[in-house]
């Protein structure tokens, strides 16, 4: 094993041990399901902020994003630049009513908070179904991304994809089942800090990778083709704008991120979390841009040979432009990005299975039974593991559709419905069903929308329109007085 590989592997092993250590530490703080699913509602602003940042930024930001810039120029910057506005939706529109309803009714999951808001178990059930469908896709995608990262890290170890996936899933399961959402929240702090350190290091390495720094890169790329580093790149204007819509408004419908808002100790903690998430997200976005631009400039200038695939942009950058220590930190950061997203999904998926589905069927949730929640976590992970390795086509579909699925399903129901008392349960149910039909229908039909418009954006617009119009066409709802007080509060 080369010295470089040894250093990289050491970084990853240290990271994995820290995660498991946090899991063991969290076990003492996990006594019932409120602890397991809601971290006891004891998180402060820093833990919440870093948790939302870490769970939003998946492995795709480290690997897929730079690949998009490498292949298409600046088109995918329309995803990167959504950050500040997207987080404004999360913190200004969703945080306050969601946290207050969760606190008032001691809700243990997002579907339960939705069911309480609309006073309708069917709405909670539909929300849980959307959550589970998206969770399976996302979780499987993250497992596969982590397994591939480990294989790339240890090419000489003779590991198969299944073995690699088993190793990373084992670490994930260990800390998630031992410590539940407490472990997920505090490992996310470690993972978030690690990702920020990795992003800072990569930014510096990228700026020195090319003669003349970023200005030199842009000049080279403009000489090759000015449009590639203009605002739209190669993807087309309407496609870029549909990404902007899906990722701006859609971010406040991502359950793994907004569930963290329900875990905070006080609403005032979010004043710390909001700027923290915005700034951290901007640093993460710069990594996306810097690595992709650097690799495209290096290939265009002839300093590097063209890559076999765009997804090789980040690994090749690390292999050729980063020191072994930085590469090790970044590899650990890639695992951290995937793991922090995956642990959030495991948490909300397990809650949907053992808490929301039984509640929708009229069974009382056993709030003190943590072992049931742990078994649900293991079961969910096993199913996602199987899908990741056996049904890659299904996984690809669910993985691609998941963000749009959550966005179209949950944005109207939560972002609008939690701020507008005229919204009705019937409208929420219609919007959830419409989002599933439009999203999965467009993806399963294989029909490519004109001008590369993202199906998730269309589904989001349809579900918002359905939600508001059905609400206005329905009789005004008779709200629970406590819910009405929260919705009316300014």
Partner 1 sequence: MSRRGRDRVALVVALGAIGLLLAGLGAALTVPSEVTSDRPHPVLPGLRSAPTETSTALTHWARLIGSGLLLWLFGILSLATSGGSGRRLLIVSALFSVIAFQLCFSADPAWARAGMVGVWLLPLITLAWPVPRGEEQAGGSGSEEDAP
Q: Give dist(CA 80, CA 244) in Å, integer.
A: 9
Q: How far is the CB of 467 from partner 1 (least distance, A)?
A: 8
Residue with tokens 């995918």: 76
Cβ distance to partner 1 smaller for residue 93 or 440: 93
Cβ distance to partner 1 smaller for residue 334 or 411: 411
Choose among 249, 245, 399, 443: nearest CA to 237. 245
Q: How far is the CB of 327 from partner 1 (least distance, A)?
A: 22
Q: How far is the CB of 221 from partner 1 (least distance, A)?
A: 9
10 Å Cβ neighbour count for 13? 12
Cβ distance to partner 1 smaller for residue 192 or 233: 233
Among positive and negative, which fits the CA dihedral 470, 475, 476, 481? negative
Q: How far is the CB of 232 from partner 1 (least distance, A)?
A: 7
Q: How many residues make up the chain in this entry?
A: 490
Q: Give dist(CA 101, CA 16) in Å, integer.
A: 36
Q: Is 164 helix (H, G, I), strand (E, B) or coil?
A: helix
> Is residue 113 a contact partner of residue 105, using CB atoms and an 8 Å limit?
yes
Q: How far is the CB of 355 from partner 1 (least distance, A)?
A: 14
Q: How far is the CB of 122 from partner 1 (least distance, A)?
A: 22
> Is residue 232 a contact partner of residue 75, using CB atoms and an 8 Å limit?
yes
Q: What are the b/e assignments for 75-94, b being 16+ CB within 10 Å? A: bbbbbbbbbeebbebbbebb
Give Cα 52 distance to the centre of its chain.
Answer: 9
10 Å Cβ neighbour count for 104? 15
Cβ distance to partner 1 smaller for residue 386 or 482: 482
Q: Give dist(CA 403, CA 409) in Å, integer.
A: 10
Q: How far is the CB of 239 from partner 1 (least distance, A)?
A: 7
Between the CA atoms of 220, 221, 226 and 232, what dihedral angle is there, to the nearest 10 degrees?
-150
Cβ distance to partner 1 smaller for residue 446 or 489: 489
Q: Is 287 helix (H, G, I), strand (E, B) or coil?
A: helix
Q: Give dist(CA 217, CA 69) in Å, integer.
A: 13
Q: Give dist(CA 35, CA 39) in Å, integer.
A: 4
Q: How far is the CB of 195 from partner 1 (least distance, A)?
A: 20
Cβ distance to partner 1 smaller for residue 160 or 222: 222
Cβ distance to partner 1 smaller for residue 1 or 473: 473
Cβ distance to partner 1 smaller for residue 162 or 465: 465
Q: How far is the CB of 55 from partner 1 (least distance, A)?
A: 21
Cβ distance to partner 1 smaller for residue 50 or 143: 50
Cβ distance to partner 1 smaller for residue 5 or 480: 480
SS3 content of the chain, % helix, strand, coil (to 5): 80, 0, 20
Q: How far is the CB of 457 from partner 1 (least distance, A)?
A: 8
Secondary structure (DSSP) of 359-387 = HHTTPPP-TT-HHHHHHHHHHHHHHHHHH
């Amino acid at each position: 094993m080369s010295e470089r590989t040894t250093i990289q592997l050491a970084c990853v092993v240290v990271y994995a041990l820290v995660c498991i250590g946090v899991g063991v530490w969290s076990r003492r703080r996990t006594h019932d399901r409120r602890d397991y699913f809601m971290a006891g509602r004891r998180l402060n602003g820093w833990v919440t902020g870093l948790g939302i940042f870490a769970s939003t930024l998946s492995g795709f930001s480290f690997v897929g994003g730079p690949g998009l810039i490498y292949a298409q120029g600046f088109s995918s910057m329309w995803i990167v630049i959504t950050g500040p506005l997207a987080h404004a939706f999360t913190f200004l529109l969703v945080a306050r009513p969601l946290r207050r309803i969760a606190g008032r009714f001691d809700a243990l999951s997002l579907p339960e908070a939705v069911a309480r808001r609309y006073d309708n178990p069917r709405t909670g059930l539909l929300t849980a179904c959307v959550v589970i469908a998206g969770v399976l896709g996302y979780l499987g995608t993250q497992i596969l991304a982590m397994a591939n990262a480990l294989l790339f890290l240890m090419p000489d170890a003779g590991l198969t994809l299944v073995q690699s996936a088993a190793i990373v899933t084992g670490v994930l399961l260990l800390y998630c089942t031992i410590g539940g959402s407490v472990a997920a929240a505090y490992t996310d702090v470690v993972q978030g800090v690690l990702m920020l350190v990795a992003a800072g290091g990569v930014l510096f390495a990228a700026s020195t990778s090319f003669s003349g720094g970023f200005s030199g890169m842009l000049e080279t790329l403009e000489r090759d083709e000015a449009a590639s580093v203009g605002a739209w790149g190669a993807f087309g204007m309407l496609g870029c704008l549909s990404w902007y819509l899906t990722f701006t408004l859609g971010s406040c419908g991502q359950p793994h991120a907004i569930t963290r808002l329900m875990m905070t100790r006080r609403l005032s903690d979010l004043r710390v979390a909001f700027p923290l998430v915005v700034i951290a997200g901007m640093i993460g976005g710069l990594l996306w841009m810097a690595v992709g631009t650097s690799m495209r400039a290096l290939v265009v200038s002839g300093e590097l040979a063209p890559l076999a695939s765009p997804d090789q942009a980040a690994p090749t950058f690390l292999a050729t432009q980063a020191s072994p220590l930085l590469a090790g930190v970044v590899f650990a950061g890639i695992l951290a990005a995937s793991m922090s997203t995956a642990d959030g999904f495991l948490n909300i998926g397990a809650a949907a299975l053992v808490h929301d589905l039984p509640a929708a069927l009229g069974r009382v949730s056993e709030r003190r039974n943590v072992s049931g929640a742990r078994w649900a976590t293991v079961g969910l992970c096993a199913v996602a593991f199987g899908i990741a390795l056996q049904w890659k086509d299904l996984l690809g579909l669910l993985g691609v559709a998941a963000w749009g699925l959550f966005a179209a399903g949950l944005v109207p129901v939560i972002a609008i419905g939690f701020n507008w008392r005229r919204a009705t349960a019937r409208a929420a149910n219609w919007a959830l069903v419409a989002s599933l039909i439009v999203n999965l229908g467009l993806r399963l039909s294989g029909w490519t929308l004109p001008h590369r418009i993202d199906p998730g954006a269309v589904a989001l617009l349809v579900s918002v329109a359905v939600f508001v119009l059905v609400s206005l066409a329905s009789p005004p709802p008779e709200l629970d007085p406590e819910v009405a007080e929260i919705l009316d509060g300014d």
